[in-house]
């Protein structure tokens, strides 16, 4: 159990276009999901916390108007990179929180490789 | 949440135990030690976590020192598929965010 999927697994787009990445919790409901970005040879950087039915919470330095997050259901969060530029090329990873007793466990998707040309 | 310190890289022979250390000298009493790993170009995978006591599951064992200032993740019989970056993260139970360091890049050699 506790499977998280992402779609697409990789995408190539032209500079100036928008790209949507989906994150789904397949066998559990997740009121909270997270979006991370990872550049080559670097660690994961938290971009934002996606909350079902409410606005996402963005980390400092992350442009909310550029990285649009929608968490419209308990199993789906989407990240849209608007007006993408080559510097947005990165590995985007989502995770979903699942209740585990008194605390929560975080399960990760396989990641989406975005290349902006 | 407390910060952690891990060696940047380690090597291990296939079939041998891999012992990955982590220092977390500023850990608080309510903070857990979590271990994740990330195989190249994949999402992170949860391995194990603990508070005070040593823990073991089908993947690994976690040994936490009595003062809780450091821990060791043990992969008892490392395989080539265990080659990955291993992250040690400390967080409190009610904090939902994970703060990632650079981890330890483990290379399991044939």
Distance (Å) from the C-alpha of residue A108 to the closest C-alpha of chain B? 6
pLDDT for residue A106 is more than 70: yes
C-alpha to C-alpha distance for B22 and B62, rounded to whole angstroms = 11
Specify the pLDDT at position A1: 66
Specify the pLDDT at position B63: 98
pLDDT band at residue A99, thresholds of 50, 70 and 90?
confident
Show residues of chain B in contact with A112, CB under 8 Å.
Answer: none
Contact A74, A98 (CB under 8 A): no
- Report CB contact under 8 Å: B43, A109: yes
Per-residue pLDDT of A42-90, as tens digits, reads: 999 999 999 888 899 999 999 999 999 999 899 999 999 999 999 999 9
- Report CB contact under 8 Å: B93, A103: yes
Per-residue pLDDT of B34-67, as tens digits, reads: 999 999 999 999 999 999 989 999 999 999 999 9
pLDDT for residue A29 is more than 70: yes
Kindly identify which residue of chain A lies nearest to residue B86, measuring between CA atoms: A43
- Report CB contact under 8 Å: B43, A93: yes
**DSSP states of B26-47:** T--TTEEEEEEEE-TTS--EEE
Kindly identify which residue of chain B lies nearest to residue A100, measuring between CA atoms: B93
Task: Tell whether B97 lies on the interface with A, counting CB pairs under 8 A.
Answer: yes
**Which tokens sit at B2?**
């407390």
Cis, peptide link before residue A90, omega less than 30° from 0: no
Mean pLDDT of the region B90-103: 84
Nearest CB to B97; choose among A46, A105, A110: A46
B30 vs B103 pLDDT, higher one: B103
Percent of chain A topping pLDDT 70: 97
Mean pLDDT of the region A5-16: 97
């Amino acid at each position: 159990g506790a499977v998280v999927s992402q779609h697409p697994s990789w995408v190539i787009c032209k500079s100036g276009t928008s790209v949507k990445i989906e994150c789904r919790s397949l066998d559990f409901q997740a009121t909270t999901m997270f979006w991370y970005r990872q550049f080559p040879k670097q660690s994961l950087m938290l971009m934002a916390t996606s909350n079902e039915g409410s606005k996402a919470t963005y980390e400092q330095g992350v442009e909310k108007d550029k990285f649009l997050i929608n968490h419209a259901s308990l199993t789906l969060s989407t990240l849209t990179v608007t007006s993408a530029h080559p510097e947005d090329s990165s590995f985007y990873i989502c995770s979903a929180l699942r209740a585990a007793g008194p605390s929560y466990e975080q399960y990760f998707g396989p990641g989406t490789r975005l290349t902006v040309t | 949440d407390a910060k952690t310190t891990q060696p940047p890289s380690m090597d291990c022979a296939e079939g041998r135990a891999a012992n990955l250390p982590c220092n977390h000298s500023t850990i608080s009493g309510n903070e857990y030690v979590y271990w994740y790993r990330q195989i190249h170009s994949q999402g992170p995978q949860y391995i194990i976590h603990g508070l005070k006591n040593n823990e073991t599951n089908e993947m690994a064992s976690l040994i936490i020192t009595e003062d809780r200032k450091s821990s060791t993740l043990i992969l008892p019989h490392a395989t080539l598929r265990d080659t990955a970056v291993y992250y040690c993260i400390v967080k409190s139970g009610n904090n939902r965010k994970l703060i990632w360091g650079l981890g330890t890049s483990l290379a399991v050699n044939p």
